[in-house]
Structure 1
């Protein structure tokens, strides 16, 4: 079936805007990296002793682990690689830096059976997380990766398609494109049925203006 709704001329690219939380993570890892380097300095002072050997092992392990973590976090902050791309051909989930773009995931609209916006968490509780699930058709090759999707299967029950965890995109607070705008783009680009099962959304204030006499 061909959609009569207008297709967006340019793709919708969702990125994560820089935040204090991301910078805080980089600072915390940098501190741990410095502490690991101090362990190495302490171990070099007496490398033949048992304590010196332990310090060297812990220091070298920490420098490698925290050094790699710092590179990845810094790459996320500075690389500005999209988290989600929607265009006329389908849904793209770019690989996280530093993985090559050849590892990007792509799901054509023709293989999308339905789309569901849903909420993970207890209604009325804290920590509710909104997600956007693209359910591949049963005949799609993407429908084979069903492991770990038990909760997604429950949340999308009754919708056509297969619950696949890798096509369940978390909606983050720092998205550069508001989630309602992303949903609007999905509905404009895809003919697949869409269902909004989100809960805990803030209620819009209704402004009542006094009638003029």
Structure 2
């Protein structure tokens, strides 16, 4: 995937997905329900603040359209949390990336996809949130190709509030970091 100007950047932005629409609509519905039901005033107003706040936060995240994930010439960008976006955004330069990984975390009735960059053992992992060791056996089983006996540091984010285009991810990594493995859970 390249143009006359070079490889095509792969970027996903926070926005409206089935999950964010459900959270926003459900929060508004619960806030309205508390306003019309005969419940004690402290419960009513606490619920309206909590559920109304959740609806506003969801709308703020979706309408802000900030980058959630990006693969470009500089490396991998993992977008931050809505309220503290700048403080929780992480960039991993290509020189520090050993692999790009995609896996699923299972919950009752559904699975949450995750994407991340495995940091090379000799690199200093970027500071900040979203850094964790893929050491639990169930995660190792979900991400094929990780070396045995090594607990890699993975900078990662849940695919939540945005969608992941796996073919575009593989294409962009191949264009910007030829030969770098992209490990998909399939």
Q: Does 1:84 align with 2:47?
A: no
CA 11–72 in structure 1, closer or farther in 2 if over 3 Å, else same? same
SS in 2 for 1:152: helix
In structure 2, the residue matched to 1:167 is 156
User: Structure 1, residues 22-52: CA drift from partner, whole Å, max 9, x if none?
Assistant: 334322211211233346xx57xxxxxxxxx
In structure 2, the residue matched to 1:146 is 132
In structure 2, the residue matched to 1:14 is 12
Q: 1 or 2, which has the higher strand percentage? A: 2
- TM-score, normalised to structure 2's length? 0.71
- Equivalents in 1 of 2:22, 2:104: separation in Å? 27
Mapped contact 1:152–1:165 kept (Cα < 8 A): no
CA 85–141 in structure 1, closer or farther in 2 if over 3 Å, else same? same
- TM-score, normalised to structure 1's length? 0.64
Cα deviation for residue 87 of structure 1 reads: 1.3
In structure 2, the residue matched to 1:186 is 173
Cα deviation for residue 133 of structure 1 reads: 3.4
User: Structure 1, residues 168-205: CA drift from partner, whole Å, max 9, x if none?
Assistant: 553x7963x73201111012112463144433xxxxxx
Q: Does 1:25 align with 2:23?
A: yes
Structure 2: tracts of 5 or more residues without a match: none
In structure 2, the residue matched to 1:36 is 34
- Equivalents in 2 of 1:136, 1:111: separation in Å? 6
Cα deviation for residue 84 of structure 1 reads: 0.3
CA RMSD of aligned residues (A): 3.5
Aligned pairs, number: 175
CA 158–11 in structure 1, closer or farther in 2 if over 3 Å, else same? closer
Q: 2:88 aligns with which of 103, 108, 118?
A: 103
SS in 1 for 2:73: coil
Q: 1 or 2, which has the higher helix percentage? A: 1
- Equivalents in 1 of 2:156, 2:176: separation in Å? 17
Over alpha carbons, which structure has the higher Rg?
1
In structure 2, the residue matched to 1:135 is 118
CA 74–110 in structure 1, closer or farther in 2 if over 3 Å, else same? same
**Which structure has more RCO (C-alpha within 8 Å, separation ≥ 6)?**
2
